Amino acid sequence: MAIHELAGKKAPYELLTDIPKLITAYYSEKPDASVVSQRVSFGTSGHRGVSTALSFNELHIMAITQAVCEYRTSKGITGPLFLGADTHALSNPAQVTAIEVLAANGITFMYQKGFGPIPTPGVSHAILTYNKNRTEGVSDGIVITPSHNPPDAGGFKYNPPNGGPADSDVTGVIEKRANELLKDGCKDVKRVTLKQALNLGTSVEYDYITPYVDDLQNIIHMDRIAKSDLRIGVDPMGGASIDYWKPIGERYGINFEIVNPRLDPAFGFMCVDHDGKIRMDCSSKYAMASLIDLKDRFDIAFGNDPDSDRHGIVTKTGLMNPNHYLAASIGYLFNNRPDWPENAAIGKTLVSSAIIDRLAKGMNLNLKEVPVGFKWFVNGLIDSSFGFAGEESAGASFLRKDGGVWTTDKDGIIMDLLAAEMMVETGKSPSEHYSDMVEKYGDPVYERIDVASTIEEKEVLKNLSPSQVKADTMAGEKIVEKLTKAPGNGAAIGGLKVVTENGWFAARPSGTENIYKIYAESFKGSDHLKQIQDEATQIVADALK
């Protein structure tokens, strides 16, 4: 992958998004539902788009919110809806539009005082806290966020009463109805003005932050972190966690140093990502360059993306690879949570590092490998059959200290705090813990590459069967598994995974681009990885014929 000349450098002025133009387009541009790129489309993380590209506009949010109102009515969801939003420029106007539609439909909804930003874990935690021990009148939620995507992006996620990302059977209904409304110019959308909405008794100002902060002691050993002399740096990266870190420090007596307290919808303080774009990806060493430069000032430091569902952990050696931190967290947690259910499993996606498989075997732990998408972990976190659930893109959650559910969506804040707890309790950084694992289980090399593909080829890849893979060996080793269904739950993976003793690859079609993605890993070094990648491309090409 070619690295842009600006990667890791502070974003120049000419790269910044024109925020007034973006907001104007949100209100003025009218999407055409007959054009595929302008329709409502729920991917693995909700509907995302850009107002100037007519893929995230006022009419989209009107239609989606009305569809959510109708969906929750059809399912008898009568409790309050918890509404969150991140700090992207399009999130605030989209939140206002959603409020106007929710109020007109008579939906009781909870919004943060002053329309302050509330991240994904804040909404999931609020839903689960409200719904605990309830069988009727349960709540659900909306988070308006495009996650770590560039400043011009907008996003809309729906979380049902289980508190996690909505499954495709839910988003399919919402997407279909939203596009029907969009096609008709949103004539059937109910809406009042913002002033009218906020004067209704169904609009409830709510404090999301205090209950979440107070509850942290039940999942992290906050008292032990507070008693330490650990030097901790925090970079909210201009995101929705920005209003959480000061209250956390004050509540528990922890002296965090917030290295970047700025809010800027253009994210002009960011360093440029690998491809020359501004992207608030806390798992990217290029986007996180400014915090990495400060690593010697702290014992541990961390950052979060705008909706705080991802984590970026910086130790004395630099930014940890997300797969490495997942493994270190698993090794630590399952040795330091004695009240977790005895048979609690590790949940991992099929494109996460196989060092997790080796670790699970070495620790005699149950492992469940599922398709890509955090939605596959929701039920296991609710019933505590998963102690930890994580995916390779730096998103994870885990159980409370007593073994109960915390969130059913990714929580970057607890993953950050876990790194501090790990250092206090063991005297070793997460990267040192990972180094110990490498000595025991091997040193994997992992990379994702993109391969050009047609729409027709992507459709074939998505529906492959193992019998279509003719190869018996890969990179000099016998193929031991050919998977088109995840071994942890039998669900279709929407692609192919091929495994040998010391390596694997997974191929999945992109939902938005004419490419398919190849994730690959080798325990025999970079040359072996390159061989796997080359042969993977050929294996897929042969299977697509």
Report the 3 state secondary structure along 115-165: HCCECHHHHHHHHHHHHCCCCCCCCEEEEECCCCCCCCEEEEEEECCCCCC
Give yes or no: residues 148 and 222 share one domain: no
Other beta carbons within 10 Å of 302:
31
Cα 498 from chain centroid (whole Å)? 25
Across-strand partners of 235? 303
pTM (two decimals): 0.96
Q: 193 — phi, psi (to 5°)?
A: -75, 160
In terms of phi and psi (left: phi > 0; alpha: psi -120 to 50; beta: otherwise), the region of 403 is left
Whether residue 1 lies inside any domain: the answer is no
CATH number at residue 453: 3.30.310.50
Other beta carbons within 10 Å of 46:
24
Alpha-carbon distance 524 to 102, whole Å?
55
Domain boundary residue, one of 394, 415, 441: 441
Alpha-carbon distance 68 to 74, whole Å?
10
Give yes or no: residues 40 and 95 share one domain: yes
Alpha-carbon distance 314 to 311, whole Å?
10
Position 426 scores a pLDDT of 98
Domain boundary residue, one of 397, 417, 441: 441
Whether residue 287 lies inside any domain: the answer is no
Whether residue 313 lies inside any domain: the answer is yes
- Walking along the chain (545 residues) 10 residues at a time, the average pLDDT comes out as 91 97 98 95 89 98 98 97 98 98 98 94 98 95 96 97 95 97 97 97 96 98 97 96 97 95 95 95 95 95 96 97 97 98 97 98 97 95 98 96 98 98 98 98 94 90 91 96 96 95 94 85 98 95 88
Alpha-carbon distance 88 to 351, whole Å?
29
Position 71 scores a pLDDT of 98
What letter would DSSP give residue 10?
B
CA neighbor of 44 nearest in space, from 158, 144, 120, 141: 158
Give yes or no: residues 66 and 171 share one domain: yes
Whether residue 222 lies inside any domain: the answer is yes
Give yes or no: residues 350 and 386 share one domain: yes
Position 114 scores a pLDDT of 86
Give yes or no: residues 203 and 79 share one domain: yes
Whether residue 273 lies inside any domain: the answer is no
Whether residue 149 lies inside any domain: the answer is yes
Across-strand partners of 449? 518
Give yes or no: residues 245 and 228 share one domain: yes
Show the 3-state SS of 21-81.
HHHHHHHHCCCCCCCHHHCCCEECCEEEEEHHHCCCCHHHHHHHHHHHHHHHHHCCCCCCE
CA distances from 463 to 18, 128, 526 (A): 41, 35, 30
Domain boundary residue, one of 441, 472, 507: 441
As for how many domains the chain has, the answer is 3
Whether residue 270 lies inside any domain: the answer is no
Other beta carbons within 10 Å of 298:
20
Give yes or no: residues 245 and 120 share one domain: no
Given a contact cutoff of 8 angstroms between Cβ atoms, the answer to whether 98 and 81 are in contact is no
Give yes or no: residues 302 and 394 share one domain: yes
CA angle 107, 111, 117 (to 5 degrees): 140
Give yes or no: residues 127 and 155 share one domain: yes
Position 512 scores a pLDDT of 67
Domain that holds residue 245: 212-259+294-441
| Per-residue tokens: 359 | 């670790």
Extended beta strands in 311-466, E state: 311-315, 318-319, 345-349, 367-370, 386-391, 395-398, 445-452
The per-residue b/e assignment along 346-382, b for 16 or more CB within 10 angstroms, e otherwise, is: bbbbbbbbbbbbbbbeeeebebbbbbbbbbbbbebbb
Q: Which of 41, 51, 147, 522 is catalytic?
A: 147
Alpha-carbon distance 255 to 79, whole Å?
38
Given a contact cutoff of 8 angstroms between Cβ atoms, the answer to whether 192 and 104 are in contact is yes
Given a contact cutoff of 8 angstroms between Cβ atoms, the answer to whether 415 and 333 are in contact is no
Extended beta strands in 173-295, E state: 203-206, 232-235, 256-258
Give yes or no: residues 516 and 433 share one domain: no
The reply to whether 147 belongs to the active site is yes
CATH number at residue 352: 3.40.120.10
Q: Which residue has the tokens 């999931």?
A: 124
Across-strand partners of 391? 395
Position 1 scores a pLDDT of 64
CA neighbor of 504 nearest in space, from 525, 479, 486: 479
Whether residue 32 lies inside any domain: the answer is yes
Helical pair 58-74 and 168-183, crossing angle rounded to 10 deg: 130
Helix%, strand%, coil% for the chain, nearest 5: 40, 20, 40
Give yes or no: residues 202 and 243 share one domain: no
Give yes or no: residues 315 and 216 share one domain: yes
